[in-house]
Amino acid sequence: MKPAKKEAPTIYQLAPEIKPGQSIELLKELHILTRDGKLNQDSRRKLKQVYHLVQFIEPLLKDVGENVTVVDHGAGKSYLGFILYDLFFKGRENAGHIYGIETREELVQKSTELAARLGFPGMSFLNLSVAESTESDKLPATIDVVTALHACNTATDDAIDFALKKHAKHIVLVPCCQAEVASVLRKNKGRDLGRSALTEIWRHPIHTREFGSQITNVLRCLQLEAHGYQVTVTELVGWEHSMKNELIVATYKNLPRRRPAERLQQVLAEVGLEELSSRFYTESTTSEPTP
Ligand X SMILES: C[S@@+](CC[C@H](N)C(=O)[O-])C[C@H]1O[C@@H](n2cnc3c(N)ncnc32)[C@H](O)[C@@H]1O
Residues found near ligand X in the complex (CB under 6 A): 74-76, 79, 101-104, 129-130, 149-152, 155
- The residue (of 155 and 249) whose beta carbon lies closer to ligand X is 155
Q: Do residues 227 and 291 lie in contact, with contact meaning Cβ atoms separated by under 8 Å? A: yes
Q: Which is nearer to ligand X, 64 or 107 (CB)?
A: 107
Q: In this chain, which residue has its C-beta nearest to ligand X?
A: 76
Given the complex with ligand X, which of 76 and 238 has the nearer CB atom?
76
Minimum CB–partner distance for residue 38 and ligand X (Å): 22
Least distance (Å) between residue 113 CB and ligand X:
17
Q: Which is nearer to ligand X, 104 or 258 (CB)?
A: 104
Task: Give the dihedral sign, CA 190/191/194/199.
Answer: negative
Least spacing, CB of residue 61 vs ligand X, in Å: 18
Buried b (16+ CB within 10 A) or exposed e, 159-189: bbbbbbbbebbbbbbbbbbbbebbebbeebe
Q: Residue-wise over 222-242: b if at least 16 C-beta within 10 A, else e?
A: bbbbbbbbebeeeebebbeee
CB of 137 to ligand X, least distance (A): 18
Residue 249 CB, shortest distance to ligand X, in Å, is 16
Residue 270 · residue 245 · CB < 8 Å? no
20: Cα separation from own chain's centroid:
26
Output 154 or 282, the one with its CB closest to ligand X: 154
